[in-house]
């Protein structure tokens, strides 16, 4: 994998996209959680998309203008602290809003897990640079496994695809020299364990 391909793949599976991907997975899982009215699905996608993708992206130009971050890559762990802190707020708001809706609780639990993942990355970034890309895809893999256990769902194709993406994403982060191997591997493990435990417990 060359550097250009690694950058493209890292952009396609950016951690900010993982919540939306997870929600879309739920909608196409074939379980009772996927049989929601179209209007409700649109509301959920709007809430999750706006809070986990739209608002964080809108804040980045401000962070760059005021010198909080030097680039969108946020190459140092210290650059990540303020963006992660501001990102965590709309994540928590998403959980609060989804809990109020008459929808399967697994959707709100998914966003709760995602919020805890962001909070963990925020805490770790005070001392160390972990691969947030791998935390994101690890969380998605952990969620799919926990989802299949809790809802007795056959999600093997989705699981295999997510693991394949995780492997390619890990290769991309290493190829681009964005992270050391330990940062990549521990990132995946962190996201995986948090999401797995949250879904199984709640």
> Given this model, what pLDDT does residue 62 score?
86
State the Cα–Cα distance between residues 150 and 103, nearest whole angstrom. Answer: 16
State the Cα–Cα distance between residues 84 and 28, nearest whole angstrom. Answer: 29
- Domain range for 108 is 3-201
What total of structural domains would you count in the chain?
1
> Given this model, what pLDDT does residue 1 score?
63
Give residue 159's region: left, alpha or beta (phi > 0; psi -120 to 50): alpha
Task: Say if CB 190 and CB 138 are below 8 A apart.
Answer: yes
Q: Is 135 helix (H, G, I), strand (E, B) or coil?
A: helix
> Given this model, what pLDDT does residue 32 score?
93
Burial class (CB in 10 A: 0-12, 13-18, 19+), 152: exposed
State the Cα–Cα distance between residues 153 and 12, nearest whole angstrom. Answer: 27
Q: Per-residue confidence of the chain (202 residues) as pLDDT tens digits?
A: 677 788 888 889 999 999 999 999 999 999 999 999 999 999 999 999 999 999 999 998 888 887 788 776 677 888 899 999 999 999 999 999 999 999 999 999 999 999 999 999 999 999 999 999 999 999 999 999 999 999 999 999 999 999 999 999 999 999 888 899 999 999 999 999 999 999 999 8
């Amino acid at each position: 994998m060359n550097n250009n391909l690694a950058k493209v793949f890292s952009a396609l599976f950016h951690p900010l996209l993982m919540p939306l991907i997870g929600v879309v997975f739920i909608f196409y899982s074939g379980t009772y959680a996927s049989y929601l009215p179209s209007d409700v699905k649109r509301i959920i996608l709007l809430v999750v998309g706006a809070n986990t993708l739209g608002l964080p992206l809108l804040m980045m130009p401000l962070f760059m203008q005021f010198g909080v971050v030097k680039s969108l890559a946020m190459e140092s762990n210290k650059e990540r602290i303020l963006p992660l802190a501001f990102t965590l707020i709309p994540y928590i708001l998403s959980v609060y809003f989804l809990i109020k809706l008459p929808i399967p609780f697994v959707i709100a639990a998914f966003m709760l897990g995602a919020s805890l993942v962001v909070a963990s990355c925020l805490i770790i970034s005070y001392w160390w640079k972990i691969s947030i890309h791998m935390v994101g895809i690890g969380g998605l893999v952990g969620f799919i496994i926990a989802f299949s256990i809790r809802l007795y769902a056959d999600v093997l194709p989705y699981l295999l695809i997510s693991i394949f993406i995780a492997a390619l994403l890990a290769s991309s982060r290493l190829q681009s020299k964005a992270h050391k191997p330990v940062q990549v591997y521990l990132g995946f493990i962190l996201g995986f364990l948090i999401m797995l435990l949250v879904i199984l417990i709640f």
